[in-house]
Structure 1
Amino acid sequence: MGKKLAIDFGNSNTTVAVWNESLEREELIKIQDITRRYKNPKGHSDSETYCIPSIINFEGNNVLIGQEVFYRGKEFHQGTFRDIKRYIMKRKSLPKDIGGSRLSFYEAGEKFVSELISRVSKILDDKIQELIFTLPVDAFQHYQEWISEVCRKLNIDYYRVLDEPSACAFGYDMGANEGEILMVFDFGGGTLDVSIVKFEFALNKERKSIVVGKGGSSIGGIDIDTWIMEDLLKQNDLSVEEVQHIINHLRQNIEDIKIELSFNKEASISVFDDRKGILISADYTREIFEKILIKNNLFNIIQETVDDALEEAALRGIRRREIKNVLMIGGSSLIPSVKKILEEKFPERVRSYTPFDAVVKGACRYGAGKVLDDYIKHDYCLKHWIWSDDRYSGRYGYQPFIPRGTRYPVQDVAKFKIDAAVPGQKEVELMIFEVRPNNSQKLKNEMVYNSDTGKYEIIVTSVSGEENKVLVNEKNPTFIKLDPPAKGGEKRISVSFNIDINRLLRITVVDLKTNCVLYKNQPVVKLS
């Protein structure tokens, strides 16, 4: 049936995960030359996480993305776009002149996503069946429209979306219990976003994730790098203009220093300037690093941003003590003094062991139906021979039997009596088809913002337009032997369908002529 792929397109880094059906878990994808390794904190199942820097360079007919932009020294080239997500969220296209043509941040983001999907497709051993994108809460509707347009241009037939705070909760294994409240502290390269999320069940028992409080600041890891750069140049009695020719090398070393001080108490930087014949160096301790952060008012900004989210939640009757867990994501959240602020506000409730990949892991689990929704996401139909009323002619037809939104597990979701097509028929094949919308923009199984209630909701609605039917049990065909052979038009077998807790479609088949049970609770295919 193909792979389920999740993409978390971040302002600084992008992560991609694929669902491994046999292992029943998500796997982060490492793509040669464009990924960068980040050290994970204690508690993570892996020592490192592979991220793709959200950067793209255009030069002539060549396109570079991710880490290869840095390998080629193109990160500050005229044809390079970075901080793409921030500009899209703020609806700033800001076109550049690239090789005689105008290219906007919208188009650069589209090309980044396109190139990323193309490279992922080359390393997968199967086609991509479904894409799951994560969306920021502050620009949900606008950003969703951009994603829809990107998918339309790339001829992506099927995709879904999930807001980033909910994806984070699922990636941290927090689950989604009735009434549970979580805080997501997202401190990445470009922004600081704090969201308080509450999980609720609708009257029809479909689950919903609601953002009840939020705070934000435009400060991020890039700003911290700038502060360290200013301190480094001051210690070496240099100006920015004097080091422009090695600025990229300095920035990379400064980011490494920041990461090193998140895990160790001391770190040093040493860069030799060949042109000037001088060594630019400095020694840093955590104490010195924190003084730089205090000087630039970082901790006050964090306090105010968290308080903004708490105050908004309080207006909705949510108190601080009701927040069950605080989930930290983004590379800048690894800074020990940042974590300390949250631990003082929320003792024993702060979780920070998967800052880089929680969102994409949660989105991948959501796409695989492992969290939040325990309903079937597609319509399914059975193809079989249908005799006309005069019993002398007939045709093959598609009989709908599982509508999208069906809750599972469920017994006797459907039951049919199936006709034999021709005299002397010795077997019947059960062919199960998944019905998909032909146009992804018409898909309505997603988390959306309800302006009337001021809440983000997961809804499941029917779609209009043409549909595609895809055979889903071609690798596991079900042939039912008939002994004795059937007569043409004879209602020969009875088939009933169940869906178990793992979304496996199971059948029980009875031969109506002999009253023999040919299959009992036999698994046919896993639904999605």
Structure 2
Amino acid sequence: MTVLAIDFGTSNTVVCLHNLVHGQPETLDLGSLSFRYDQASPLIPSLIHIDSRDQVTIGNKVPKYDCSRILKGFKRELCQAFQPAPTYINQRPYTPKDAATLFLKELLKSIEEIAKIKPTEFIFSTPVGAYESYYHCLQDIASEAGYKQVRFIDESTAAALGYGVKNPGKIILVIDLGGGTLDLSLTKIVKPETNQSIYQGEVLVKTDRAYGCGGLDIDRWIAEDCLKKHGRTYKDIGESAWQNLLMISEKVKIRLSQYELAEESFLDENTFETWKISLKRQELEDILERQGFLRLLREAVDEVLEIGYSKGISKREIHHVLLVGGSSLIPAVQSQVFSLFGRERVHCDKPFEAVAHGALSLIQFQGINDYLRHTYALRHYNPFTKANEYYPLFQSGSSYPCIAPALYLQANHTGQQQIQLIVGEYTPSGATEVYYDEQGMLQIRSSDADSSFRPLGSQNTVQFPLNPPGVKGEDRLSVNFFIDPGRTLKVDVFDMKNQTFILKQQAVGRLQ
């Protein structure tokens, strides 16, 4: 049996397998697709290039000069609630799902061709706040490639497991600062019972900051700062030059993790003027503070500590703090975490491969005691108020398996032949909506309940036929929703008039 773990990242992707000879996780080097930061483990850039003949190139083989044909950042867009407009290449639209599908299919093919490995099972690590559609996408891609055995584990917990296997009983906080999001997880590894060798993982607290906390955001802020210094705007230089400027900004950010000063050159494609981009480490820290990045980091840590405290876990009981993701190498980030927990508790030696290695360690575990990250609700239209109404089924933070209270449904009018309910992920208040402003910049604003409701999909709409037709004011159906141990939402529907089940353990969707 060959199990591969894939940490599909916004900026970089890591693939590893369990080395049977050494008994340790081994990160795969896929030749020209991979590259290394200062002799670190091999990484595969999450990039796609599509040439004029629609030929696809991924990873480190992508030509960096042809920005108009490069797709990037698609993983972040895919796992969030909003979907931006598609990118057109060769007059063909590419959505985030299209891009992710292309990238992962090429990656799976390269694993077989370059590494000569035909895995029997995949384990995908996923962001803490990923939506249900993201899981379906990964499952579909693997299935189309011929792989039926797919498991999932959230990225923060995966990193905790990777470090925590050697420390059963210890409480571990993972701070995952990648290209797209800031995810945190407080996890405990439970000791095996007597005469057993299988560990049990227990997730205690999870939280995430989906916007304004990723490496892509930092690249954009550096690029915007550069434009401001030269009296230019995004519209002045155009999309192609902007993408090139973002790549240069990423290089500057990476260099500032090691040096006090970073300098690069940028060519304005409209005026053919060359700019010198120079940024000091302190200037980057000022940008992060001004944009609220460090404040959001502090707030996320505070939220985890507060929830932990409500569960009887004090800050001093956290034995290890693990920094994961490329953005965790930024000195200002590390200083922030050192000041909160003390340098001796903080580990930052495996920023790129801890998640993939931890995901692979899932094969050593009997299971993960986890809970739901999102609230799930029913949406239905009230003909009296002429508005949508929402009935929460399972609140965020609920452990599973679990059962929702029974619902008793009536027909809205006599003669009604079916009742339809839509299940979705729901944020009752304080939701965040992402949009693009007039200059094409990503912005955030508060949204209402309707805009924060995300249906699981049209195929997951639950329709209950009524035969004979319903009578207004009469309880007709008893509906029970429940979540099984595999995190699948199922429903039982009992027709109270006919005393028969219309649906029994019908799967509605897989939840996060």
**TM-score under structure 2 length normalisation:** 0.65
Partner of residue 207, structure 2:
214
Alignment pair present for 1:233 and 2:227 = yes
Structure 1 residues 93 and 229: CA distance shift in structure 2, 3 A: closer
Structure 1 residue aligned with 2:356: 360
Whether 2:110 is the aligned partner of 1:158: answer no
Structure 1 residue runs of 5 or longer lacking an equivalent are 40-46, 374-444, 462-528
Per-residue deviation, 1:206: 6.0
Distance in structure 1 (CA, Å) of the matches to 2:120 and 2:276: 51
Secondary structure at the residue paired with 2:62?
helix
User: In the alignment, what sits opposite 1:314?
Assistant: 309
- Name the SS of the counterpart of 1:324 in structure 2: strand
> How well do the aligned residues superpose, as a CA RMSD in angstroms?
3.2
Letter in 2 for 1:137: V
Distance 1:284 1:101, change over 3 A: closer
Could you tell me which amino acid in structure 1 is paired with residue 353 of structure 2?
A: D
Call closer, same or farther: CA 1:237–1:210 in 2, change over 3 Å: same
Superposed displacement of residue 9, structure 1: 0.7
Residue 330 (str. 1) matches residue 325 (str. 2):
yes
What does residue 8 of structure 2 align with? 9
Residue deviations 1:90-148 (CA, integer Å, cap 9, x gap): 26485566656655322332222111010111112343232221122323755333332
Structure-2 separation of matches of 1:296 and 1:112: 31
Secondary structure (helix, strand or coil) at the match of 2:255 reads helix
- For this pair of structures, how many residues does the alignment match? 375
1:291: how far off? 1.8
- The residue that corresponds to 1:454 in the other structure is 398
Select 2:164's aligned residue among 174, 177, 196.
174
Residue equivalent to 2:135: 144
Structure 1 position 71, deviation (Å): 3.2
2:409 alignment partner in structure 1: none
* Change in CA separation of 1:12 and 1:21 when aligned onto 2, cut-off 3 Å: same
Residue 223 and residue 169 in structure 1: after superposition, are their counterparts in 2 closer, same or farther (change >3 A)?
same
1:108 aligns with 2:107: no
Aligned equivalents of 1:448, 1:21: Cα separation in 2: 29
Of 62, 68, 75, 1:69 maps to: 62
Change in CA separation of 1:337 and 1:57 when aligned onto 2, cut-off 3 Å:
same
Runs (5+) with no aligned partner, structure 2 = 373-393, 402-483, 487-512
Aligned residue identity for 2:237: V
8 A Cα contact 1:141 1:449, kept in partner: no
TM superposition score normalised by structure 1: 0.63
Structural mapping, 1:25-424, within 5 Å: 25-39=24-38, 47-58=39-50, 60-71=53-64, 73-74=66-67, 76-77=68-69, 80=71, 82-90=73-81, 92=83, 103-139=94-130, 141-171=132-162, 173-175=163-165, 177-200=167-190, 207-219=200-212, 220-244=214-238, 246-273=241-268, 276-347=271-342, 348-367=344-363, 369=364, 372-373=365-366
CA contact (8 A) 2:111 2:117 kept: no
Q: How far, CA to CA, are the matches of 2:308 and 2:160 in structure 1? A: 18
* Shift, 1:231, TM fit: 2.3
**Shift of residue 88, structure 1, vs aligned partner:** 3.1
Question: Partners of 2:272 and 2:142 in 1: how far apart?
Answer: 51
Pick closer, same or farther for the CA change 1:37–1:248 going to 2, 3 Å. farther
Q: CA deviation at 1:303?
A: 1.0
Q: Which moved more, 1:246-255 or 1:308-317?
A: 246-255
1:103–1:316 CA distance, 2 compared to 1 (3 A): same
Give the deviation of 1:353 after TM superposition.
1.1
Q: Secondary structure at the match of 1:7?
A: strand
Q: 1:73 to 1:160 in 2, by over 3 A?
A: same
**Counterparts of 2:81 and 2:35, CA distance in 1:** 27
Q: After the TM superposition, which residues 502-513 of structure 1 pair with which residues of structure 2 at under 5 Å, given as runs?
A: none
Q: Residues 58, 447 of structure 1: CA spacing in aligned structure 2 closer, same or farther, 3 A cutoff?
A: farther
- CA separation of 1:334/1:58 partners in 2, compared to 1, >3 Å: closer, same or farther? same
Q: 1:247 to 1:140 in 2, by over 3 A?
A: closer
- Paired residues of 2:322 and 2:348 also in contact (CA < 8 A): yes
Q: Aligned residue for 1:468?
A: none
Query: How far does residue 261 in structure 1 lie from its aligned partner after superposition?
Result: 1.0
Secondary structure of 2:358 counterpart = helix
Change (3 A) 1:198 1:240: same
Name the aligned partner's letter for residue 286 of structure 1: R
Per-residue CA shift, 1:151-190, capped at 9, x if unaligned? 222221323332322321233x332655422111111112
SS at match of 1:262: coil
Aligned counterparts of 2:27 and 2:55: Cα–Cα separation in 1: 27
**In structure 2, C-alpha distance between the alignment counterparts of 1:349 and 1:456, rounded to whole Å:** 32
Q: What is the alpha-carbon distance in structure 1 between the residues aligned to residue 84 and residue 191 of structure 2?
A: 38
Query: 1: CA distance between counterparts of 2:398 and 2:82?
Result: 22
Distance in 1 (alpha carbons) for counterparts of 2:361 and 2:124 = 12
Q: Secondary structure at the match of 1:363?
A: helix
2-side partners of 1:242 and 1:258: how far apart? 23
Q: Give the structure 1 partner of residue 375 of structure 2.
A: none
Superposed displacement of residue 328, structure 1: 0.6
Q: Cα distance 1:356–1:207, how it changes in 2: closer, same or farther (>3 A)?
A: same
For residues 23-76 of structure 1, the C-alpha deviation after alignment (integer angstroms, 9 at most, x for no partner) is 32222222234333323xxxxxxx3232222233445431222233343514x4
Say if 1:22 and 1:305 are closer, same or farther in 2 by CA, change over 3 A: same
Determine the C-alpha separation between the residues in 1 that align with 2:301 and 2:208. 6
Is the 2:180–2:210 contact (alpha carbons within 8 Å) kept by the matching residues of 1?
Answer: no
Q: Percent identity?
A: 30
Distance of aligned partners of 1:226 and 1:147 in 2 relative to their CA distance in 1, 3 Å threshold: closer
